[in-house]
């Protein structure tokens, strides 16, 4: 009998403090071998027996991870049989190769798990907690340590941010969480997960998403460590909470809308089912746990964990619920506490009230609401609109994009998720080959200098008034040609949409992302940014040009000692310059996005 492949048996997640402690105890000689050892372990055969996963180092030596609660929570839960144990490199390498464990939420109510997102929960303190006046000395010290660890990772770049750099981030994240800085700790763990995905060439890795995570981590830490740190509600938002607070929501009549796959960079996957209350409020029921694309694809068939409801997420999206004793978080997530009762009910089609009211909100108001919300996975980011398919779009690096007319604007429509394990991409290709097709859709806004949406669900033909049709969850349901009424018979050729004079903000984005990908050296070469600076100034983006100049100088300026040797680079200065450029680029991109959607109806925008 052959051993199972490594990919068939997942490693249990390891607590951040365990990984950090094991890496710190290594000798300098073994620290140099840590990354290579972790890479070798990833390819070794694995077996599972109960709560223990074993990895064969050779015919006589094995590594063991013991996780009785599903998480490796102590250093002695990782055991090695080699002669150098416990001071060998194998234990630290295995911890570095395993997923990072998320903290277990505190609280006495068994609420439904929250869906991980690119942004951590920014909610303030739970009801009854006093708002803090200022960060304490321990919190300032923890924020400073986390800033320095993040700055070191930024200076090293993705290729240089190996297991030791990641261990420093995890150690700082653990310390930050102990002092009550839950939001920056969560961002640090997300940064480590993003670095690991990038270094492993994970197809799901997106440099732009990792850049946004590092930007927010540095921004939060910088705000907390400053002498003039914010207080009250602003400080509470920076700190975050240990768990999402839930408050009584009374009785609710809910109508299903759609199911959205969750495939987070943190190693979590599942589904979020969006439902609507009679008062127009959106609620979410989640089923998210450690896993990958397979779990994200299967979760739509899992049973909804809410009271006595005996329906799957797919069935709920097509039907409804009557809930009593509901508990609701500030961001609209429904809790599954012991006092919650729920039974199935009928749903309504998208063209009927109260659901149809979502499509009656003016589109500019929806765009403003989505741009103002810092969480890209929240209900505020959902856009409800009607489209007419124009055909496929030819874009460099984004093959699965279609153009659609939306109230006179030409909008580019991208898949809700690009992972091949979900149905988004195949469905979008079929829709792109059906010019003239009318769609009523639920989408998410994509901040860009042109109107752009990610498509989550649609009702083909609904916008044309062809009567009630079943919604299609584009991440789960597979469309066929018969599902597309009123579509043109001849597929349209790919269009090449080009803005007449686009603002070259991408030049700044490119340099910011290159600095994260390759480290300080990516922007330190003499003259490497001069052409971009000139183009930015010529386009009127003088602030962007100045920030790029400051980033280049922070990366390139090096002093020498009395012997003529280069001193270490100023990581503090480089991190501040990078953060300023990244933050400006993000704010400018949002302003350009708002301007693109505010174009006069019927005006050519592409």
601 pLDDT above the threshold of 60: no
pLDDT in tens, 556-585: 887 777 777 877 778 899 999 999 999 999
Strand ranges for 346-416 from DSSP E: 382-392, 402-406, 409-415
Give the pLDDT confidence score for residue 291 in this predicted structure: 80
Give the mean pLDDT of 455-462.
87
Please count the other Cβ atoms lying within 10 Å of the Cβ belonging to residue 131. 12
Name which residue leads in pLDDT, 598 or 170.
170
**pLDDT confidence tier of residue 360, bands split at 50, 70 and 90:** very high
Matching residue, tokens 């390498």? 93
Strand 247-263 and strand 438-445: the pairing is: unpaired
Nearest CA-CA partner of 507 in 477, 464, 538: 538
Q: What are the tokens at 268? A: 């979590």
CA distance linking residue 81 with residue 63, whole number of Å: 6
Left, alpha or beta for 354 (phi > 0: left; psi -120 to 50: alpha)?
alpha
**Mean pLDDT confidence for 3-9:** 52
Provide the pLDDT for residue 121.
38
Instruction: Output the CA angle 107-112-116, nearest 5 degrees.
Output: 95
Percentages of the chain per state (helix, strand, coil), in multiples of 5: 40, 20, 40
Helix/strand/coil for 210: helix
Strand 320-328 and strand 52-56: pairing? unpaired
How does residue 603 score in pLDDT terms, banded at 50, 70 and 90? very low
Lowest mean pLDDT of 144-153, 184-193, 234-243, name the range. 234-243
| Pairing state between β 409-415 and 452-460 | parallel
Torsion sign, CA atoms 476, 477, 480, 486: negative
Cross-strand bridge partners of residue 283: 275
| Two structure tokens written together for 347 | 């749903």
Sequence-distant (6+) residues with CB within 8 A of 503 are 449, 539, 541, 588, 592
Q: Which residue is it, tokens 């109510």?
A: 109
The answer to whether residue 144 scores a pLDDT higher than 90 is yes
Q: Which two tokens stand for residue 505?
A: 């903000």
Asked whether the beta carbons of 115 and 284 are under 8 A apart, the reply is yes
How many whole angstroms separate alpha carbon 204 and alpha carbon 194? 10
Q: Lowest mean pLDDT: which of 12-16, 320-324, 334-338, 476-480?
A: 334-338
* pLDDT on residue 606: 36
The percent of residues above 70 in pLDDT, for the chain, comes to: 87
Cβ-contact 86, 102 below 8 angstroms: no
Residue 224: pLDDT band by 50, 70, 90 thresholds? very high
Per-residue pLDDT at 8:
59
Q: What is the pLDDT of residue 266?
A: 63
Q: Determine the 3-state secondary structure of 12 from DSSP.
A: coil
Q: Find the mean pLDDT for residues 127-142.
A: 73
Which two three-digit tokens encode residue 574?
């480089």
Decide which of 356 and 602 is more confident. 356
Residue-level pLDDT at 354: 95
Q: In 257-328, which ranges are continuous DSSP H helix?
A: 293-298, 313-318
**Angstrom distance (rounded) from CA 206 to CA 198:** 8
- What backbone phi and psi angles, to 5 degrees, belong to 234? -65, -40
* pLDDT at residue 259 is higher than 70: yes
pLDDT band at 309 (very low <50, low <70, confident <90, very high): confident
Residue identified by tokens 């309504």 is: 348
Tokens of 82: 């080699």
Instruction: Count the neighbouring beta carbons within 10 Å of the beta carbon of residue 315.
Output: 18
CA of residue 379 relative to chain centroid, distance? 15
Predicted local confidence at residue 599, as pLDDT: 62
Tokens standing for residue 14: 């390891």
Predicted pLDDT at 11: 86
Residue 348 neighbours by CB distance under 10 Å: 16
The answer for residues whose C-beta is within 8 angstroms of residue 61's C-beta and 6 or more apart is: 80, 81, 82
Beta strand 282-290 with 268-277: parallel, antiparallel or unpaired? antiparallel
Q: How does DSSP classify residue 468? A: -
Q: Are 286 and 271 in contact (CB under 8 A)?
A: yes
The better pLDDT of the pair 132, 399 is held by: 399
Structure tokens at 27: 């000798």
């Amino acid at each position: 009998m052959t051993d199972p492949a490594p990919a068939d048996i997942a490693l249990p997640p390891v607590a951040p403090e365990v990984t950090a402690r094991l890496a710190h105890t290594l000798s300098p000689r073994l620290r140099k071998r840590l990354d290579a050892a972790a890479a070798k372990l990833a390819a070794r055969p694995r077996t599972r027996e109960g709560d223990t996963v074993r990895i064969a180092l050779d015919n006589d030596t094995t590594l063991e991870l013991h996780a009785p609660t599903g998480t490796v929570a102590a250093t002695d839960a990782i055991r090695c049989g080699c002669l150098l144990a416990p001071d060998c490199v194998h234990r630290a390498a295995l911890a570095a190769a395993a997923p990072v464990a998320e903290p277990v939420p505190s609280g006495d109510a068994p609420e439904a798990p929250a869906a991980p997102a690119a942004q951590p929960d920014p909610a303030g303190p739970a009801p009854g907690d006093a708002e803090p006046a200022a960060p304490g000395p321990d919190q300032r010290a923890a924020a400073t340590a986390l800033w320095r660890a993040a700055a070191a990772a930024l200076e090293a770049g993705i290729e240089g941010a190996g297991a030791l750099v990641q261990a420093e981030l995890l150690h700082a994240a653990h310390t930050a969480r102990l002092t009550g800085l839950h939001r920056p700790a969560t961002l640090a763990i997300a940064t480590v997960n993003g670095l690991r995905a990038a270094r492993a060439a994970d197809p799901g890795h997106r440099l732009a998403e990792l850049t946004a995570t590092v930007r927010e981590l540095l921004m939060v830490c910088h705000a907390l460590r400053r002498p003039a740190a914010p207080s009250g509600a602003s400080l509470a938002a920076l700190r975050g909470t240990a768990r999402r607070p839930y408050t009584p929501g009374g009785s609710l009549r809910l109508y299903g809308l759609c199911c959205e796959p969750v495939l987070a960079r943190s190693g979590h996957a599942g589904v979020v089912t969006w439902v609507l209350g009679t008062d127009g409020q959106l609620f979410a029921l989640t089923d998210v746990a450690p896993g990958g694309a397979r779990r994200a694809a299967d979760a739509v068939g899992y049973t909804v964990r809410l009271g006595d409801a005996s329906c799957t997420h797919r069935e709920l999206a097509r039907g409804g619920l009557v809930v009593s004793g509901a508990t609701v978080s500030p961001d609209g997530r429904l809790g599954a506490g012991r006092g919650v009762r729920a039974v199935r009910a009928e749903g309504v089609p998208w063209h009927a009230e109260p659901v149809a009211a979502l499509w009656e909100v003016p589109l500019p108001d929806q765009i403003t609401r989505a741009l103002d919300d810092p969480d890209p996975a929240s209900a505020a980011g959902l856009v409800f609109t009607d489209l007419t398919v124009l055909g496929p779009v030819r874009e460099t690096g984004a093959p699965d994009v279609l153009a659609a007319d939306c109230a006179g604007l030409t909008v580019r429509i991208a898949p809700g998720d690009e992972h091949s394990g979900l149905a988004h991409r195949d469905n979008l290709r079929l829709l792109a080959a059906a010019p003239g097709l009318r769609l009523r859709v639920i989408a998410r806004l994509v901040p860009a200098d042109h109107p752009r949406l990610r498509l989550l669900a649609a009702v083909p033909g609904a916008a044309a008034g062809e009567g009630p049709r079943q919604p299609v969850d584009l991440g789960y349901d597979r469309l066929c040609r018969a599902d597309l009424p009123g579509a043109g018979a001849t597929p349209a050729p790919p269009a090449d949409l080009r803005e007449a004079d686009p603002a070259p903000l991408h030049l700044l984005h490119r340099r910011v992302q290159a600095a994260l990908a390759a480290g300080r050296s990516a922007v330190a070469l003499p003259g490497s940014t001069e052409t971009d600076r000139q183009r930015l100034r010529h386009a009127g983006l003088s602030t962007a040009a100045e920030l790029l100049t400051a980033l280049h100088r922070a990366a390139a300026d090096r002093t020498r000692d009395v012997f003529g040797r280069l001193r270490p680079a100023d990581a503090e200065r480089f991190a501040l310059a990078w953060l300023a450029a990244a933050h400006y680029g993000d704010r400018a991109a949002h302003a350009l996005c708002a301007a693109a959607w505010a174009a006069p109806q019927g005006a050519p925008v592409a």
